[in-house]
Amino acid sequence: MQVIDDLFTKEQQDLIETSALRIPWYFQDNTCDFSYIPNYPKQIDGVNETPFFVNMLFDDFKSQSEYFKYFAPIVGALERRFNRPFMKRLFRMKANMYLQRPDYPDWCFHTPHVDVYDEKTDTIGEGEIFLYYVDDSDGPTYMFNERFPSATVSKNAWSTPEKGKGVLFDLQTQHASSPPRFHERRITLNFVFTK
């Protein structure tokens, strides 16, 4: 996991946040559902799902929304920072908004998952994820040691939501979000890049 704190100026961070607050949001009753996968565990200790809002802006290597243009510069910034291609590898990009849950149990998390998984072949996609925190919030993103799917998980690392911070990590890393307890909302932009 590589933390990137200085990809954008304060003014650019504010513009990204303003753009995120202006896009349409769509309700989902949980962050992910793998009940259709035969070997997915029925219960995992620590999992506590909550509803959230999402906007799928880019999927299957193409734009799904007129709003994608507001966030495409993030991909360009990654290319300049790392001096390697990202845009031609962009498979999916979505915005996630989690609302405050003051009663959310400490150290719990949403369903552990990977962002690209083929249940027919039990294979996890290869590539990387860039998770960008749009606003200052709480509700860490957790990374786990175990390969997906796993009946038990142990935390390997976590990242706290800080406006303008990004986290780049391997697409095969099992991870999970959690909602904010002390802030009104937590907004992330999730970019999935193939190998």
Q: What is the pLDDT of residues 32-73, one digit of tens each?
A: 988 888 878 888 999 999 999 999 999 999 999 999 999 999
pTM, two decimal places: 0.95
- Report in angstroms the alpha-carbon separations of 14 from 9, 25, 67, 72, 76: 9, 19, 16, 15, 18
> Can you read off the two tokens belonging to residue 26?
């769509």
Q: What is the 3-state secondary structure (H, E, C) of the chain?
A: CEEECCCCCHHHHHHHHHHHHHCCCEEECCCCCCCCCCCCCCCCCCECCCCEEEEEEEECCEECCHHHHHCHHHHHHHHHHHCCCCHHHEEEEEEEEEECCCCCCCCCECCCECCCEECCCCEECCEEEEEEECCCCCCCEEEECCCCCCCCCCEEEEECCCCCCEEEEECCCCEECCCCCCCCEEEEEEEEEEC
> What is the structure's pLDDT at 156?
93
> What is the structure's pLDDT at 118?
83
Please provide residue 175's backbone torsions phi and psi, each rounded to the nearest 5 degrees. -150, 170
> What is the structure's pLDDT at 33?
86
Count of domains for the chain: 1
Name the residue range of residue 120's domain.
2-194
Rg (CA), the chain: 16
pLDDT higher than 90, residue 122: no
Q: Could you tell me the CATH number of the domain that includes residue 150?
A: 2.60.120.620
Q: Averaged over 124-144, what is the pLDDT?
A: 96
> What is the structure's pLDDT at 111?
95
> What is the structure's pLDDT at 40?
85
Q: How confident is the model at residue 123 (pLDDT cuts 50, 70, 90)?
A: confident
